[in-house]
Amino acid sequence: MLERAELAHLVDHTLLSPTATVADVEALAAEAEALGTYSICVSPSMLPLPFSPKVKVATVCGFPSGKHTPTAKAAEAAEAVRNGVDEVDMVIDIGTLKSGDTTSTEDEIRAVRDACPAPVVLKVIIESAALTDDEIVAACTAAEAAGADFVKTSTGFHPSGGASEHAVALMAKTLGGRLGVKASGGIRDWDAAQAMVDAGATRLGLSGTRAVLDGGTSTGY
């Protein structure tokens, strides 16, 4: 069982609402610092931040549908890097993967990787709830081959749902510790967060972070 501070340091404290304002992001960063989270994750339009947070800054790319061209995703990632982010969470084209074209999936991840080279951390969102086990394995394999740092379960916006212990465990087994595993989407209380870590998650995406850490129930992402 993790201690509160240990769990907090695994969290990307997230605000991806389309109505978010600069003031909301400033409040997010202040709360992240108070809670001791690893990072904040905000929409790319909020960048560059008009202040200097004391935590890492992440953003999203091709979000939330993934139905953007590789060129557009790469340009979005490159702009985010110019605007000072430490991490980029990209959404793959789920339909391409489900059609069996894993070469194109790998190619689009590599295009984004090239646009945000290390030390920027690249996480690949695969919408695991919409995939079969074989497709989850294929997505993880493509992400690793293309040089990603993490594979992430979900955007939190897909109708199929968010993270599951089964998907996290399968991702962790497939990647064997070579890449991180981020669980996100629908993690709304302490027990769920702990279960994801026990299944193999090395990062968590939460919006209701304070409620989770305080042992309550979050209504957020």
182 is catalytic: yes
For 79, how many CA atoms within 13 A lie in the half-sphere containing its CB? 15
Per annotation, catalytic residue among 12, 73, 89, 93: 89
Does the annotation count 98 as an active-site position?
Answer: no
Contacts (Cβ under 8 Å, ≥6 apart) of 40: 12, 13, 14, 15, 25, 28, 29, 32, 53, 55, 56, 57, 58
Give the 3-state secondary structure of residue 57: strand
Are 109 and 139 a contacting pair, CB within 8 Å? no
CB 67 within 8 A of CB 95: yes
- Pairwise CA distance, residues 124 & 144, whole Å: 10
The catalytically annotated residue of 12, 73, 93, 182 is 182
Decide: 159 and 127 in contact? Cβ < 8 Å: no
Buried b (16+ CB within 10 A) or exposed e, 110-131: bbbbebbeeebbbbbbbbbbbb
Strands (DSSP E) along the chain, which ranges? Answer: 11-15, 39-42, 56-61, 87-91, 121-125, 150-152, 180-184, 203-206
152 among known catalytic residues: yes
Active-site residues: which are they? 89, 152, 182
